[in-house]
Structure 1
Amino acid sequence: MSPTLAPVLAIDFGTSNTAAAIMEGGTVHRIPVEAGSDTLPTAVFFPARGGAMRMGEVAARALTGAEEGRYMRALKSVLGTPLMHESRLIAGRRRTLADVIAGFLAELRRRAEVAVGHGFTRVLSGRPVHFHSDPARDAQSEADLRACYHAAGFTEVAFMPEPEAAALACHGMGGAGETGLILDIGGGTSDFSVYRTEGGRVRILASHGIRLGGTDFDAALSLTHAMPLLGHGGQLRREMGPGLLPVPNAIYADLATWAHIPFVYTPENRRLARQMARLAVEPAPLERLVTVLTDELGHDLAFAVERGKIAANGGTGDNIAMGFIEPRLAAPISGPSLRDALQGHGRDLEEAVAETLSRAGVAAEGIGSVVLVGGSSLMGLVTDLAARMMPSARLHRSDAFTAVVDGLALATGEE
């Protein structure tokens, strides 16, 4: 088969989840890249004593099973940043995060090839409308991801904005000639497209995106709800002289950020935490911080915050369980406290939707359908925003985790 006719693998490489699909016989076929699932958590685990990198749910089970090693999640968020190419000692070998992402994509490619029975050298990848607001860093992010695909064995790499792919997959949810809005709220970015269906096809009127997603929601909730129980917002006595000092924020910000957690367990941070516990007006919370750093519990805490967020959003939970740090420790959380913590992010999303409508030249009243895409689109602040801004539009829930990859696969069939 000539290279120009080789099949194209569609990949939605997401901050939280990844999926792959192909077009075959005019139909989208999702590839089971995880046992029994069309999606794969974008997470890896490197065993401390060596061995193959583990991916997805297997990586998470290694972490929760207290196996010694390095767990990483939200890899996509480091694209375009200096972290991407910093060499670090990971499980006995020096690696960059570019190496880690390339390894993840190479294994994804291998699984896809095994599933369909032939090789892939061409890929159509989703990308956010903007990885970063800064154009230079945005361009660097795409260049970084392109290089990772090449390192994973793909010779031809193309990109398509994720909300445009979702529009291809979801336009049938509205009527012919209808104007719709895609709200794609992912793990690390939020993307928006206004589209119109014309003659059975989709025309994109405007797209826009901001660097804000579910991991940012988690960070905000962690800082406002969980981190105060570790001393965030507390006070320290001065070693010399009168007066008090605020507890520094840096360690808490890193512990609340999925991509930074693996790198927070440094001797300097542990030493600083012990010093703060000694000087704290209230020592007990800082002693818990010492425990988190000593026992490397940052990911356990991040998962607990994520579970608390999901439960509070669904009205089924009222706390963030932190008993792995100290018996019976829990941070109260409720629907109202969740909304208060995410209020600023809600305003950012509202401004971005308004900007997208403005670029499309479409009034809010002209939107007939709002299609929710991405795992974080299930948050109440997103559905509330859509109902408030476009009250006459019908709200559709797509397959939150596979709409983008379905659209990418459809796009490969339009060559």
Structure 2
Amino acid sequence: MSSAPPAVSIGVDFGTSNTVVALSDGDGRVEAIRFDHGGRTHSVYVSALCFWEDRPGAGLHPRAEGGPWAIEQFLERRTIHRFIQSFKTFAASSAFNTTQIFRQRYKFEDLLAAFLRTLTRHAGDGFDLGAPTIMVGRPVRFAGGNPNDELAMQRYRAAFERLGAGHALYVYEPVGAALSFARSLDHDATVLVADFGGGTSDFSVMRFSRKGGVLRAEPLGHAGIGIAGDTFDYRIVDHIVSPRLGKGTSYRSFDKVLPIPNHYYSSLARWHQLAMMRGNGDLRELQQLARTALDPAPLQDFITIVDHDLGFALYRAVSDTKVALSSRDRVEFRFAREGIDISATVTRDDFESWIADDIERLGATVDEALAKAGITARDVEKVFLTGGTSFVPAVQRLFAERFGAARLTSADQFESIAYGLALIGHTQDPDRWTVAAAA
């Protein structure tokens, strides 16, 4: 690749919950693409898709909308639709091959390409993902029980290639955040970047220095884990919502009384899986179980949530509760839709007891990143926290106890990764920052 800087560099931070795209012009100026929707300007494009048919049964490909337009289409409910969110979580799953949307089968790369097309359309002004320099973020470790990172990257490349971006370079997301933060450094420093997304938490140790006015970065160590904001949501669903929808109850099979299988509640507690239950046979199985359940009412409510696509509203209530617990000791959870009414008092102590094992595993992953870098916590001068989950008090304590509160800093919780990725595209050797170079 030529050392001459390109006219425009694009940074794409495709996240589990939100996506941000930034442009850098090579003079140090960088800005996120803005989307005008509903009389407001957004720099964040929600990672969601809504499919629908204008002429049901005509055999045509369904139409698709993304971002806030997907949510708008879903909430208006003008026609039969299929709403999908957090689909990044399927990227590294070998078990996920396709999902059926009306009469079409969609692979992960089909979903991602459709999503990117909606983003490109709404970006306007001739925005083109096929620009000469495009840097795409990826997790250090993808989400899932047994993630296949190589498979995920094959799917990413296939999707971006369809939009003319087969030449895109891939960079660990926390490395992008690190470069965005490093612009503010006025001296050499070793920095730990902690990037908390929706599906994964990633940690990178970077050594930054300046020589001749040029910022230099040496990646020292990386580690990641599939625990993040969605996992904390999962804990609230599992303890508050699932028992109200039949978890722990039983059904009758011939002369035996058996427990309702727990795997349905694993899907309930993970938004991306709940959205798939209508099309993978789970809904039909739940309807059969309800007929023989000892107490069918909770299962009927569960069925209503799946059948009426109430997952979005449910998870908004769960997320609002989690966010409120960052500033309050006690929160009233309430979800009331379609005759379902679930309410409970959630204390911060309750929540922190539910996520205690997750916090411990996050701490072990931080230690892994430090070990790979060959340093200890004392050698880290700054800790840069990014992502909404970094505001959770238990997460703050984890880092304050290891590094001291004075070394913790943060910036924009949504745009920093995309900014850093776009800036990397203007460095003399962007390839040096890629995953292959860091491996």
Length-normalised TM-score, structure 2: 0.85
Q: CA deviation at 1:66?
A: 3.5
Residue number in structure 2 paired with 1:384: 397
> Residues 152 and 184 from structure 1, CA distance in 2 versus in 1: closer, same or farther, beyond 3 angstroms?
same
> Residues 314 and 173 from structure 1, CA distance in 2 versus in 1: closer, same or farther, beyond 3 angstroms?
farther
Residue number in structure 1 paired with 2:237: 222
> Residues 172 and 120 from structure 1, CA distance in 2 versus in 1: closer, same or farther, beyond 3 angstroms?
closer
Q: Which moved more, 1:65-74 or 1:47-56?
A: 47-56
Counterpart CA distance in 1 for 2:279 and 2:106 is 17
Counterpart CA distance in 1 for 2:388 and 2:357 is 20
Answer yes or no: is 1:257 the counterpart of 2:270: yes
Contact 1:28/1:406 (<8 A) preserved = yes
Q: Which moved more, 1:29-38 or 1:144-153?
A: 29-38
Residue number in structure 2 paired with 1:286: 299
Counterpart CA distance in 2 for 1:329 and 1:258 is 18
Q: CA deviation at 1:282?
A: 3.8
CA RMSD of aligned residues (A): 2.8
Q: CA deviation at 1:139?
A: 1.1
Answer yes or no: is 1:158 the counterpart of 2:169: yes
Residue 401 of structure 1 aligns with an amino acid whose one-letter code is F
Matches within 5 A, 1:1-20: 5=6, 7-20=8-21
Counterpart CA distance in 2 for 1:349 and 1:188 is 13
Contact 2:221/2:372 (<8 A) preserved = yes
Residue number in structure 1 paired with 2:432: none
> Residues 340 and 178 from structure 1, CA distance in 2 versus in 1: closer, same or farther, beyond 3 angstroms?
same
Counterpart CA distance in 1 for 2:192 and 2:264 is 39
Residue number in structure 2 paired with 1:366: 379
Pick the aligned partner of 2:91 from 79, 104, 118: 79
Counterpart CA distance in 1 for 2:402 and 2:87 is 33
Residue 251 of structure 1 aligns with an amino acid whose one-letter code is Y
Pick the aligned partner of 1:347 from 338, 344, 360: 360
> Residues 26 and 138 from structure 1, CA distance in 2 versus in 1: closer, same or farther, beyond 3 angstroms?
same
Percent of aligned pairs with the same amino acid: 29
Residue 23 of structure 1 aligns with an amino acid whose one-letter code is S
Counterpart CA distance in 1 for 2:330 and 2:266 is 25
Counterpart CA distance in 2 for 1:326 and 1:106 is 37
Residue 187 of structure 1 aligns with an amino acid whose one-letter code is G
Could you list the per-position Cα deviations for residues 152-173 of structure 1 after superposition, in whole angstroms to 9, with x for gaps in the alignment? 2224111111111111011255
Residue number in structure 1 paired with 2:315: 302
Task: Report the 3-state secondary structure (helix = DSSP H, G, I; strand = E; otherwise coil) of the residue aligned with 2:326.
Answer: helix
Runs of 4+ in 1 over 6 A off after TM superposition: 133-136
Q: Which moved more, 1:181-190 or 1:277-286?
A: 277-286
Counterpart CA distance in 2 for 1:137 and 1:409 is 27
Length-normalised TM-score, structure 1: 0.89
Residue number in structure 2 paired with 1:32: 34
Task: Report the 3-state secondary structure (helix = DSSP H, G, I; strand = E; otherwise coil) of the residue aligned with 1:329.
Answer: strand
> Residues 122 and 279 from structure 1, CA distance in 2 versus in 1: closer, same or farther, beyond 3 angstroms?
same
More helix, by proportion: 1
Task: Report the 3-state secondary structure (helix = DSSP H, G, I; strand = E; otherwise coil) of the residue aligned with 2:278.
Answer: coil
Specify every segment of 5 or more residues in structure 1 that has no aligned partner in the other structure, as ranges. Answer: none
How many aligned residue pairs are there? 411
Residue 150 of structure 1 aligns with an amino acid whose one-letter code is E
